[in-house]
Amino acid sequence: MKRRNFIFNSTKALAIGLVVPRQLLGSHSSGAAVWHVEQFSDKGLAQFSYALLYNNKILLIDPARDAAPFYEYARKNNAEIVGVIETHPHADFISAHAEIQRNKNVPVYLGRKVGASFKHHALDANDRIPLYQDLHLRVLDTPGHSPDSISLVLADKDKDLVVFSGDALLFGDVGRPDLREYKAGKETERIALAKAMYHTVHQKFARLADEVILYPAHGAGSLCGGNIRDVSSSTIGYERQHNYAFKKYPEAEFVALLLKDLPFIPKYFPYDVELNKKGAADLKQGLSEIKLLPDNFITEDDAVMVDGRSNVIFNASFLDKAIHIPDGLKFETWLGTVIAPSQKFYIVGENPAQLNALSYKAAKIGYESAIKGAFVFNKKKPSPAIVDKEKFDRNTNDYYILDVREAKEVKDKKVFEKSVNIPLSELSGRLKEIPLDKPVVVHCASGYRSAIASSLLRYNLNGLLILDLGEAVQTYK
């Protein structure tokens, strides 16, 4: 097969940020070449980026939006960033590849099938990227999660050492095949991608040696997979034994299994794919353009207020017509699920530090340009939305009980027999199903999603009494 070699150029610069680096491998010697892999972990998006260090050079793979940790890593190791490789256009986060390319004057590499509009070098299957002596990366064509996914095998001479699999092969899982929409229609395309994944697993990954180390772009909690194991590394041998995708299913059975019980798709996913194909603006520039507004600012337009304050503070300092998405580990995911990419909004926080943190999280999914301003709200006003538990318990029939957990959670265990299930991820599109003749009590599993859901209902169903069961739901389990 045709094989091409690529050589990296290089230069220098800077930026800002916050991603947690996690050291995976100590320095390794394979043949005469010494190399090291550093993993950077974003827990909020369950996303991994990698820095491959060799001969005082660094190649970045699937870098997160914030480039600063990669620059700092290069500085500490007296090394130079010489290139970026994207395994595919990511749906769940914005990559820093365009920013790094502008600031460091380095090439960005990605699969030819992507059709990216920014300046890049297209990679084909079996292309080889020389690194140092006999150390090199080999390109695998690994469609399935997306039609344009590639993986990268780090090898020394003829010995494969590591595979960077992007979202194709995950820990105990493979990337879901339903995140893109194409001309042939969603159902047709997702079946085609599931079939492609079957061949990717058995004809590409299964041919790698057991000892090859696996580093994907996502870990447990990511919506890019259905049920990812909570680890930070694995091996092909372990996955061969424990990952269902390696079992000898007939293709049709594999496809049915892969398409079963898939998680919801946040509204921002298609937007992020397209923005990554164009290349995003610098993070620092985008954040600097967000206006800090006076405390207790009163909006006079149709832009939504996204209130990131805690449940306790929100309930003591109630803000009418705000959509309440409490700051937490999944803030950015729910922001991008509830708020469409085209919707302008204000950020509301407890203090300036939280405003900065919430804006930063919004920027990780490319939403910073949609923020009209940010302000602190601290007026004392009790929330009218708290459930009187004793009254509720005396006669639940007086209320319409809305369970906003995912359908699979409800199937596993229903909390209230007469409750109606509309998952939070679907609520905005199913508001007409809410009856208007009795108060609504909203619950989830912990109180986090019900806070979001109850505020969404109050925002859209003006005048209807919406009550949030909150953390009290845990007393019914």
Report pLDDT for 29.
57
What is the pTM for the complete model shown?
0.91
Report pLDDT for 26.
45
Q: Which helix (H) or strand (E) holds 20?
A: strand 20-23
Report pLDDT for 24.
43
End-to-end CA distance of the chain: 59
* Residue count (the chain): 477
> Considering the domain 389-476, what is its CATH architecture?
3-Layer(aba) Sandwich (3.40)
Burial of residue 308 (number of CB atoms within 10 Å: 0-12, 13-18, 19+) = buried
Which fold, 289-376?
Oxidized Rhodanese; domain 1 (3.40.250)
Helix axes 331-338, 448-460, angle to 10 degrees: 30
Please report how many Cα atoms fall inside a 13 Å half-sphere around the Cα of residue 188, on the Cβ side: 4
Report pLDDT for 27.
55
Q: Which two tokens stand for residue 236?
A: 């092909």
Longest C-alpha distance within the chain, in Å? 76
Report pLDDT for 6.
44
Residue 177: count other Cβ atoms within 10 Å of its Cβ. Answer: 24
- Distance of CA 404 to CAs 47, 230, 388, 453, 461, Å? 26, 25, 20, 7, 16
Burial of residue 9 (number of CB atoms within 10 Å: 0-12, 13-18, 19+) = exposed
Q: Pick the closest to residue 413 from 439, 386, 385, 445 (CA basis).
A: 445
- At residue 137, the 3 state secondary structure works out as strand
Integer Cα distance of 282 and 16 in angstroms: 9
- Distance of CA 393 to CAs 242, 417, 443, Å? 45, 13, 14
- Which residues of the chain register pLDDT less than 70? 1-32, 181-185
- At residue 241, the 3 state secondary structure works out as helix
Answer whether 289-376 and 389-476 agree in fold: yes
Integer Cα distance of 434 and 431 in angstroms: 6
Report pLDDT for 183.
58
Report pLDDT for 452.
97
For domain 20-271, the question of CATH label 3.30.70.270 is answered with no
Integer Cα distance of 323 and 195 in angstroms: 40
Integer Cα distance of 133 and 230 in angstroms: 35
Q: List the chain domain ranges.
A: 20-271, 289-376, 389-476
DSSP one-letter code for 330: T
Answer for the pair 304, 343: CB distance below 8 angstroms, yes or no.
yes
Find how far residue 167's CA is from the centre of its chain.
11
Q: Pick the closest to residue 93 from 48, 144, 50 (CA basis).
A: 48
Residue 108, beta-bridge partner list: 84
- At residue 235, the 3 state secondary structure works out as strand
